[in-house]
Amino acid sequence: MTSINTPLSDSSGRIPLQSIPDLSATYVGLNKVGQSKFETQRSLALEPWHAALANRDNAPAKWLALGDSITEGMGASTNLNRWTQRSLTGLRNRFATTGLTGGGTGFLPSHYDSTSMGQPYSASSGTPVLNTDFGIGRRTAQMTGTQTYTYTITCSSFDVWYVTPTTTGTIGVQIDGGAVISVNTVGGTILDGNVWNSGALTPGTHTVVISVVAGTTYFGGISVYNGDESKGIRLYEAGHYGWTTSNWLTNSNWWPRTINTIQPHLVTIALGTNDINAGVNPKTFGTNLNSLITSIRGQITAPPSIVLVAYPARTDITPAYPWQSYVDQMHSIASADSLISVLDLSVRMSSPSNTAIGTWNADKVHPVDKGHALIADTFTGFISPK
């Protein structure tokens, strides 16, 4: 066990977690000095995010939330009740932006794989192929013929995310029943993370229909702005139902380009729930997590703050390895990197087998609205300057 008197040293001037008492013990088990050092390291690891937050009047502070079904919102009754969306609202309420009331909804994918909260679009036609190779959250619709998606949004402008295929492909964008605007998506090579902007619209409710003008198109979703095109706090939700760390490492030549386009200041990674269900060795989980972090950082010009989120252990299975061994891997990664911190929700929330408080679904895996709200409140406090 590392002594609490270990000299603090880090080439970046930050306090590494290895200077803190053994973090395989829970956060609440640390003594007063250990807790103080943990809080100092947390604040310094979040400095890039805090600096972006402080500059929100002049430029967007951008948060990318990568994870599995809980990040995507499974268990919530609506997409506004997801912990990510509630956290965005909480941050905007806590840190007001001059001249801005709220802001846009943020990123809405082509579809959700989680089923409890409905879909991000208000209507659709046809049956697009749901592609998992591309896009924010790896949720892209491969569209042909008369297939359409209709979004009803409150906005002052919006972005359309798409992939450039190697052959023909033209997306149609229709706003409020007007003429269909053709967006040529052909690029010669496959490139993810492309954006077409609508230009300024009259602030209010708009109906946007995404269609196919020609060929096969790869539609990733839309980003909704409401006065926050150049400032405020912005969320890019990138959860994917059922995914493990290894799922995220596939096709690493394509989808990370979406992160290059975003250039986030904060990246949260909430994985492990499906790794433990699949019996993935905790050391393999740690190796995968490190590789994922490296891939993400390779797309971002200025190093972002990274928060590894550990949900409470699922109780619907008898796992091959204890959940704490996965959480320990997260702490081990953070201990070696001054820009990574760990939010361990298992010491801040009851077990999913506890039904008395009403935060968990009967499946003993996913939170319901009340649980999503509790995660949001805890998370918002964790990433806020103190």
Same domain, 131 and 173: yes
**Same-domain pairing of 148 and 179:** yes
DSSP symbol at 3: -
Write the Ramachandran bin of 289: left for phi over 0, alpha for psi from -120 to 50, otherwise beta: alpha
Q: Are residues 193 and 76 in the same domain?
A: no
pLDDT tens digits for range 70-86: 999 999 999 999 999 99
pLDDT of 308 over the 50 cut: yes
In this structure, are 69 and 215 located in the same domain?
A: no
Q: How many domains does one find in the chain?
A: 2
323 and 243, same structural domain?
yes
126 vs 23, higher pLDDT: 126
Tell me the residue length of the chain. 386
- 3-state secondary structure string across the chain: CCCCCCCCCCCCCCCCHHHCCCCCCCHHHCCHHHHHHHHHHHHHHCHHHHHHHHCCCCCCEEEEEEECHHHHCCCCCCHHHCHHHHHHHHHHHHCCECCECCCCCEEEECCCCCCCCCCCCCEEECCCEEECCCCCCCCEEEECCCCEEEEEEEECEEEEEEEECCCCEEEEEEECCCCCEEEECCCCCCEEEEEEECCCCCCEEEEEEEEEEEECEEEEEEEEECCCCCCCEEEEEEECCCCCHHHHHCCCCCCCHHHHHHCCCEEEEECCHHHHHCCCCHHHHHHHHHHHHHHHHCCCCCCCEEEEEECCCCCCCCCCCCHHHHHHHHHHHHHCCCCEEEEEHHHCCCCCCCCCCCCECCCCCCECHHHHHHHHHHHHHHHCCC
Q: Clarify whether residues 83 and 28 are in a common domain.
A: yes
Please answer whether residues 222 and 175 qualify as being in contact, where contact means their C-beta atoms are separated by less than 8 angstroms: no
What is the pLDDT averaged over residues 281-301?
97
Question: What CATH number is associated with residue 124?
Answer: 2.60.120.260
Question: Do 238 and 94 have their domain in common?
Answer: yes
- Do 30 and 126 fall within a single domain? no
DSSP output for 275-303:
HHHTT--HHHHHHHHHHHHHHHHTT-SSP
pTM over 0.75: yes
Q: Is 257 exposed, middle or buried, given 0-12, 13-18 or 19+ CB atoms closer than 10 A?
A: middle
pLDDT band per the 50, 70, 90 thresholds, residue 12: very low
Q: Is 379 found in the same domain as 254?
A: yes
The domain in which residue 210 lies consists of: 104-227
Q: Are residues 212 and 277 in the same domain?
A: no
End-of-domain residue from the set 208, 227, 246 = 227
Given 197, 227, 257, which residue is the final one in a domain?
A: 227
pLDDT of residue 23: 41
One domain for residues 153 and 6: no
Q: Which amino acid is at 41?
A: Q
Percent of the chain scored above 70 by pLDDT?
90
Residue finishing a domain among 227, 243, 260: 227
pLDDT tens readout for residues 26-76: 444 445 555 666 677 788 899 999 999 999 999 999 999 999 999 999 999
Q: For the segment 184-217, what is each residue's pLDDT rounded down to a tens digit?
A: 998 888 899 999 999 999 999 999 999 999 999 9
- The verdict on 237 and 287 lying in the same domain is yes
Q: Which amino acid, 127? A: T
